[in-house]
Structure 1
Amino acid sequence: MQDKLQELFDRLDANLEDFRKTWEAKNKAELIDASREITAIKDAHYYLTESHGFESEEIDYLLLFENPLQVVADKWLERTEDLSDFSFALDEVFDKQDALRDYERKEKPSVLEQLHHTAETAGKTARPTKKQEAR
């Protein structure tokens, strides 16, 4: 199994190198337009070579393909193309509102707003004192 796994890793590395050569020939605008595909390919390569624990049947299956990296990256892209689940990110933005702390704002908040936000945050994260726990 180790020999076949090494063969698969070598093929995945060669696939990535072929993609890199193609990307190097593109201009900046083409690279920007292809960013999702590039990311999917890079993520698939990383996952397959660094994280996934292969079963022997999986190795055999992927070795059937000239470009197994493309096969896996395309499936990953299919899954991430559905933006209906994007609402989870918006829920995080609106519910936590930690972006106010982490990102530059168009207009700087007043000192009063800063104090109000700090007081709200402190109230949400403060641990109860021993007196409060005893109640």
Structure 2
Amino acid sequence: MQDKLQELLDRLDANFSAFQTAWEAKSKTELIGASREITAIKDAHYYLTESHGFEPEEIDYLLLFENPLQVVADKWLERTEDLSDFSFALDEVFDKQDALRDYEQKEKPSVLEQLHHTTETAGKAARPTKEQEAR
């Protein structure tokens, strides 16, 4: 089993190396457009080579493919394309409000700026338009 595992890890590394070579040939615009796919491939490679404890049948199955990294990355990409879980992330942003301490905030306007803005807005609303004056 150890020989087959090493064969699989070598193949995953070779697959990843081939992807890296292909990415190096792309323009910045193409790379930006492919960022989700690139991330899926990088995540799959990392998980498979660093975290996953393979069962013997999993190794045999993945060795059936020339590019097992692509097989796994495509399935991972399918899962991440479903943005329905995005609402959970937003819920955490709004509920916990820990972003207030973790991220730079837009500078709040001074009280004087707020009063000036309020005065300008009130002045515009109080002045009649030309159409209103004509009546």
Query: TM-score category by the smaller chain?
Result: 0.7 to 0.9
* Identical-pair percentage: 89
Task: Find out whether 1:86 has 2:100 as its counterpart.
Answer: no
Cα deviation code 1:11-53 (max 9, x no counterpart): 0000000000000001111111111100100110010011111
Task: Find out whether 1:100 has 2:97 as its counterpart.
Answer: no
Q: Which runs of 4+ in 1 moved over 2 A?
A: 107-110
The amino acid that maps onto 1:2 is Q
Structure 1 residue 60: deviation in Å? 0.4
In angstroms, what is the RMSD of aligned CA positions? 1.5
In the alignment, the residues of structure 2 paired with residue 32 and residue 3 of structure 1 have an alpha-carbon distance, to the nearest angstrom, of 38
Number of the residue aligned with 2:69:
69
Structure 1 residue 100: deviation in Å? 1.4
Number of the residue aligned with 1:18:
18
Cα deviation code 1:71-102 (max 9, x no counterpart): 00000000010001111110111001111111
Structure 1 residue 109: deviation in Å? 7.6
In the alignment, the residues of structure 1 paired with residue 13 and residue 56 of structure 2 have an alpha-carbon distance, to the nearest angstrom, of 19
Q: How does 1:1-135 map to 2 (within 5 A)?
A: 1-108=1-108
Structure 2: state its 5+ residue gaps.
111-135
Structure 1 residue 107: deviation in Å? 2.4
Number of residue-to-residue matches in the alignment: 111
In the alignment, the residues of structure 2 paired with residue 60 and residue 28 of structure 1 have an alpha-carbon distance, to the nearest angstrom, of 37
Structure 1: state its 5+ residue gaps.
111-135
